[in-house]
Structure 1
């Protein structure tokens, strides 16, 4: 049995009937609005160039300087901070090691060596940036007149970009 649904203007609208349907459907003209949305998350990547001091002369009265680089690439208009871990030692005196032997050094945000590059604690500085691709020099200093045994000294420092 087919039941018709009455509509005062049903003649003005197309009818759809189905022998399987118990209802007659009428299509009414109208507008349907639906929202389209997308959420984009900021992304950043980091590339580093190590600080290589070369050879250290324990008999010189001059500090040994080296420069490395941190490149940060982020989504457009992304603000971020760059922090460095202590590595071995502390922010006051980072340490490169060769077995149990140690060589004191530190990393700075500028050539003036006024701000130790760290995590923003213990008097250290973070570096702030924004934009797509930016490069930041890392200035390293080994204080003069240390007398470590001969060998290869190294340290591992973690770069953290917070955005």
Structure 2
């Protein structure tokens, strides 16, 4: 065998040697994204108007809207107001006078709206992310006796959890 042939053969064997001893390793990467929801709640004011007689009781309503950027569970709860008692909400007036009222989830006086405790209801559902969700709050002032003239009001906080 000539020197040239031996050299070519040795070069070929040396070139193939790294492939014979090559090793590999693998790992898996996770690709992810977290979609968050951004929501707002808007509770309209509820007005029973100017009244001169409460002997027959009064009804009113107001809408609460929830607007979210994505789909997800939503829940709207309502505070007890100045009375601190879901069962006995009152509007405060002149000289400590009060007018009883209640907030319900139905026009006929369904469940009392509250924070979900003590048999009170909340509005819950799933936001669509494409439309505004609207819930109607129904207010009832039951029949009551004469009250001092003046303005009466209460402040209810609507709390959206999403």
TM-score normalised by L of structure 2 = 0.74
Is 1:134 the counterpart of 2:130? The answer is no
Match of 1:117 in 2: 113
Match of 2:100 in 1: 104
Query: Within 2, Cα distance between the matches of 1:146 and 1:74?
Result: 44
3-state DSSP class of the match of 1:92?
helix
- Report which of the two structures shows the higher radius of gyration computed on alpha carbons: 2
- What do the CA deviations read for 1:43-87 (whole angstroms, capped 9, x no partner)? 2101121111102333x5321111111000123321111110000
Query: Within 2, Cα distance between the matches of 1:35 and 1:110?
Result: 48
Is the 1:50–1:68 contact (alpha carbons within 8 Å) kept by the matching residues of 2?
A: yes
Is 1:82 the counterpart of 2:69? The answer is no
3-state DSSP class of the match of 1:88?
coil
- What do the CA deviations read for 1:104-139 (whole angstroms, capped 9, x no partner)? 111000112020011111221111121231111110
Structure 2 unaligned regions, length at least 5: 1-13, 16-25
Which of 96-105 and 108-117 deviates more?
96-105
Identify the structure with the greater strand proportion. 1
Instruction: Tell me how far 1:32 sits from its aligned partner.
Output: 9.0
Match of 1:157 in 2: 156
**Count of residues in Structure 1 that have an aligned counterpart in Structure 2:** 140
Q: Which protein has greater RCO, CA pairs closer than 8 Å, 6+ apart?
A: 2
Is 1:71 the counterpart of 2:65? The answer is yes
Is 1:54 the counterpart of 2:53? The answer is no
Instruction: Tell me how far 1:98 sits from its aligned partner.
Output: 1.9
Is the 1:95–1:155 contact (alpha carbons within 8 Å) kept by the matching residues of 2?
A: yes
Structure 1 unaligned regions, length at least 5: 1-7, 10-30
